Amino acid sequence: MFEIKVGNVDEVIDDDGPVFDSNMSFDEAIKGSSAPKDVIDQMVLVDVRYYGVDSRVHHGQIMANKKIENDIKVIFYKFLEYKFVVEKCVPMSFYSWDEEKAMQDNNTYSFCYGKNKDDKNNLGLALDINPRFNPLIKEDGLLQPKNGDYNVERSGTFAVNSNVVKFIEALGFVWGRGDKDVDDMHHFEKDKQFCKK
């Protein structure tokens, strides 16, 4: 694993300034979470910049584990470099912690505390990126979210052997494609070795 330091997100602007998708306080971003205090204490609210579907620079926020804060900043700088589209990044409190609702809205997120204790999103150690563009594809062909639309020709969609996927994997994330009986195309999580640290 390696660490890359990046500059301030304010360095990335366009002539009209960014479009603000989210500008919450930490308390607003964590409101309504059922996570215990020891889990919430591990979280940080990360400001990110990215090209939206309108080709403008957007400002969003991702609630994540402090352990991957630098990784998220590095990933989003790489997205800007590649002009890899991200539709929006809004903390899950906006969706009342409803993952299906957030995925249908193509929202990119990390921390979402839920019932599946094996899910790295519970600890903010996973990143779910453009879930509608990169749906979970079940063995029977069903998609999650239901309005998922996988098209590798569209920016913001992950393809096998793409430079974006390789870069994220080089940071120690495991892509959800080929995970058990599903292809979880939007899901990247830190590997088990990292999570033990």
Q: Provide the 10 A C-beta neighbour count for residue 184.
A: 22
Q: In what order do the strands lie in the sheet with 57-65?
A: 19-20, 57-65, 43-51
- CA 184 to chain centroid, in Å, comes to 13
Q: Are strands 173-179 and 143-144 parallel, antiparallel or unpaired?
A: unpaired
Per-residue pLDDT tens digits of the chain, which is 197 residues long? 334 444 444 455 556 789 999 999 999 999 999 999 999 999 999 999 999 999 999 999 999 999 999 999 999 999 999 999 999 999 999 999 999 999 999 999 999 998 677 789 999 999 999 999 999 988 888 899 999 999 999 999 999 889 999 999 999 999 998 766 678 899 999 976 665 55
Contact 128, 108 (CB under 8 A): yes
Q: How far apart are CA 127 and CA 186, in angstroms?
A: 8
Give this prediction's pTM. 0.89
| Partners of residue 65 on adjacent β-strands | 43
CB under 8 Å to 106, separation ≥6 — which residues? 87, 88, 130, 131, 132, 133
The DSSP result for the chain, as a single string, is: --------GGG---TT--EES----HHHHHTT----HHHHTTEEEEEEEEE-TTSSEEEEEEEEEGGGHHHHHHHHHHHHHHT----B---GGGGTT-HHHHHHTTB-BS----S-TT-GGGGT-EEE--TTTS-EE-TTS-EESTT----TTSTT---TT-HHHHHHHHTTEEEEEEETTEEEEEEEEE-HHHHT-
**Chain-wide mean pLDDT for the chain?**
89
**CA–CA gap between residue 40 and residue 29 (Å, rounded):** 11
Alpha-carbon distance of 86 to 129, in angstroms, equals 8
What tens digit of pLDDT does each residue of 14-33 get?
567 899 999 999 999 999 99
pLDDT tens for each residue of 62-92: 999 999 999 999 999 999 999 999 999 999 9
The residue assigned the tokens 């058990």 is 180
